[in-house]
Amino acid sequence: MENKTITKAKKYMMNTYASFPLVFVKGEKCYLFDDAGKKYLDFVAGIAVNSLGYGHEEFIKKVTEQLGKFNHLSNLYYNEPAVELAESLAVHSGLDKVFFCNSGAEATEAALKLSRVYSKKNKGSDCYKIISMKNSFHGRTFGAISATGQLKYQKDLAPMLSEVVFAEYNDIEDLKSKITPDTAAVIMEPIQGEGGINPADPEYLKQVREVCDENNIVLIFDEVQSGIGRTGAFFAFQKYGVIPDIVTCAKGLGGGIPIGAIIAKEKIAQAFTPGSHASTFGGNAISTTAANVVVDELMEKGLLTNVQIQGEYLKNRLELLKEKHPYIVDIRGAGLMMGIQIDGDTSKVVRKAMENGLLLVGAGNNVIRFVPPLTITKEDIDLFTEIMDISLEELKC
């Protein structure tokens, strides 16, 4: 007999997710428990969202305290948590000004709008073209999906927004060939997430920065998935030593409470003026309080160091699995944003691991990604390795 919650969901919720037949009711640290009491090691973390795992005491305390003060104000007024977070994001990114929204897709929209406003003011009224990357992913709103370089996400949505062209990732000559005097921005992920955990080549990223500087083009880094400590640096671009004009973030920033943001250089940010852009819930006191805890844990209480240590340990465990299981053909990523390319059906691996108490998520056509809570421990990774080994052995992968 089908679970009552699942039956009700099928009746009342739109069928936009191929959800697994699981209902989770609680979490503890890096583990989730379903309504039958089964325990799962979570290497999905809400898809790189739950930075602090589950039941984090300081996170719960601070958010609860803010709820006791007030839950929401209009941006017609200031609130302390939002201003504190804006300062932290500017300081830790090396950029200058922040705009808050609610999600990664909204952050993409804000970044695209800001780049166009800046370019029209500084280059000309016809300067509005966007260059994105093939195999990219930038969100599900219409502007964000138009800038996404994967046709499967655009199915049945044509015509998409015009004046977006796509260049080959890690190919500087192809990017140069797409640039025109009307190019306003280049948007790209330093590490492609949904496209299969594909890192940019360091030299390529430096060349992209140079090309954008030469042509007064706004360089946008989408770090919705790779940002906020996920790769072992506050932002992945800091590992490359290449600074964008705008960076987007969301996912892990709120530790599970919805929030998104863009951070921009001063000269770019000045293009936005009152009325240029807005978000009713952007900078909400609850979400920014949650984000302040995440940032504090990362930058003041050693969590970023844990990502570096555990990320290296995870990579070593994956290399051992690769030696034992020849169907693992590649390992890539950084920190706790890792992936393995499988010569086989990744969905079977995900399902088998789930049966064995491990939650995984795919990326691209043949990659399984690993994006656990940043609080993960060596013992958790040892258990992950054991379950992966058993699952791959059972599937003969």
Residue 397 pLDDT > 80: no
pLDDT of residue 187: 98
Percent of the chain with pLDDT over 90: 95
310: CB partners within 8 A, 6+ apart: 336, 376, 377, 378, 381
Q: In which band, very low, low, confident or very high, does the pLDDT at 33 lie, cut at 50, 70 and 90?
A: very high
Phi/psi region, residue 2 (left: phi>0; alpha: psi -120 to 50; beta: rest), is beta
pLDDT digits 0-9 by tens, 194-211: 999 999 999 999 999 999
pLDDT tens profile 245-262: 999 999 999 999 999 999
Locus of tokens 């691996």: 349
Over 70: is that where the pLDDT of 391 sits? yes
Angle at 62 between CA 61 and CA 63, to 5 degrees: 95
pLDDT in tens, 154-164: 999 988 888 99
Is 2 a residue whose pLDDT tops 90?
no
Provide the pLDDT confidence category of residue 396 given band limits of 50, 70 and 90: confident
**Quick one: pLDDT at residue 231?**
98
Across the range 80-108, mean pLDDT stands at: 98
86 has pLDDT over 90: yes
Q: In sequence order, what E strands does the chain have?
A: 24-28, 31-34, 39-42, 97-101, 129-133, 164-167, 183-188, 191-192, 198-199, 218-222, 246-249, 260-264, 328-334, 337-342, 358-359, 361-363, 367-370
- Mean pLDDT for the stretch of residues 382-391: 98
Please give the average per-residue pLDDT across 181-185, as a whole number.
97
Residues 104-129: b if buried by 16+ CB within 10 A, e if exposed? bbbbbbbbbbbbbbbbeeebeeebbb
pLDDT the model gives residue 1: 73
Tell me the domains of the chain and their CATH numbers.
4-55+302-395 (3.90.1150.10), 58-299 (3.40.640.10)
Rg from Cα positions in the chain: 21
